[in-house]
Amino acid sequence: MTAIMDQDLIDFVYAEARMLDEQRFEDWLALFTEDGYYWMPLAHGQTDPVLEGSLMYEDKLLLRVRIERLAGQRTYSQQPISRSHHLLQQPTVEAGHAWHNPEQGQYAVRAAFHYVETRMDQQTLYAGWATFELLVVDGGLRIRQKRVDLVNCDAALRSIQLFM
């Protein structure tokens, strides 16, 4: 098994955010395992994405559908397109996380963020934490789950067009 260093995990998180900001959505989707999920809980401390409501809980198929919608010529809500910017605090390796088990190629990484999504003259700021459950697959890191906890997850939010 390839040795994964803390810096590799940190670099992965920064690269993932950059892909999103550069709208390299196909490359971003390729970072997910086939059974990977993108989860945005609706409540602080939420532990179950299936039996409790979520802002988003999307598997790879739903992520693909969203990406295809963003690229569609008839997606009028994206003419002109939305843009994003991630500002990340340095990610930390979460050795105490239940998923974190380097001997099995499982890692947990967390990064606090400020995220701006903009379209035309509308700009929206979100703040929160992203927790990545990463898995070593064929010598490279892949996302098994990306959990995005917004500070104001229980507020009435505008439509989120892109990925945080």
In tens, the pLDDT along 113-145 reads 999 988 888 889 999 999 999 999 999 999 999
Q: What pLDDT is stored for residue 79 in this prediction?
A: 67
The answer to whether residue 159 scores a pLDDT higher than 90 is no
- CA gap 156, 134 in Å, rounded: 31
- The domains found in the chain, sorted by start residue, are 6-42+53-150 (3.10.450.50)
Name residue 143's beta-bridge partners.
Answer: 32, 134
The label of the residue with tokens 């990545």 reads 132
What is the per-residue pLDDT across 42-88, written as a single tens digit (0 to 9) for each? Answer: 999 999 999 999 999 999 999 999 898 887 666 666 667 788 999 99
Angle at 103 between CA 49 and CA 144, to 5 degrees: 25
What SS3 string covers 75-91?
CHHHCCCCEEEEEECCC
